[in-house]
Amino acid sequence: MTFFGSSSGYEYQRLSPKETWYPFTPSLYEEQRGHSFDYVPKIKENDFTDKSQGFFSWICNLIVTFLIFLITFLTFPISGWFVLKVVPNFERIVVFRLGRIRPPKGPGVVLVLPLIDQWQRVDLRTRAFNVPPCKVSTRDGGLVSVGADIQFRIWSPVMSVVAVQDLNSSTRLTAQNAMMQSLSRKSLREIQSERVKLGEHLGMDMNEMTKPWGLEVDRVELTLEAVLREPDGGHSGPLILPPSVPGLEVTESPVDGLMEKVRSVLSEELVQQVRACFLFQISMDSGLSKTYYVDLTQGCGACGAYAEGVLSREPDVSLCLSEQDLLAMFKGDLQPFSAYSRGRLRVQGDLNTTMRLEALVKLLRNT
How many CA atoms lie less than 13 Å away from 78 in the CB half-sphere? Answer: 3
* Domain at 127-229, CATH from 3.90.550.10, 3.10.105.10, 3.40.50.300, 3.30.479.30: 3.30.479.30
Per the model's pLDDT, the better-predicted residue between 87 and 35 turns out to be 87
Where are the chain's structural domains? 26-122, 127-229, 254-366
Per-residue pLDDT tens digits for 39-79: 455 555 566 666 677 788 889 889 998 999 999 999 988 98
With 50 as the cut, is the pLDDT of residue 237 above it?
A: no
Per the model's pLDDT, the better-predicted residue between 125 and 366 turns out to be 125
Within 8 A by CB and 6+ apart from 330, the residues are 258, 261, 262, 360, 361, 364
With 50 as the cut, is the pLDDT of residue 134 above it?
A: yes
With 70 as the cut, is the pLDDT of residue 23 above it?
A: no
CA distances from 351 to 100, 132, 306, 325, 331 (A): 47, 18, 22, 18, 20
Contact 334, 328 (CB under 8 A): yes
Give the per-residue pLDDT at 121.
Answer: 93
Contact 284, 324 (CB under 8 A): no
Confidence of residue 119 (pLDDT cuts 50, 70, 90): very high
CA distances from 250 to 193, 242, 247, 326 (A): 19, 11, 10, 22
Neighbour-count burial for 350-360, b at 16+ CB within 10 Å, e otherwise: eeebbebbeeb
CATH code given to domain 254-366: 3.30.1050.10
Per-residue pLDDT tens digits for 183-193: 888 888 888 88
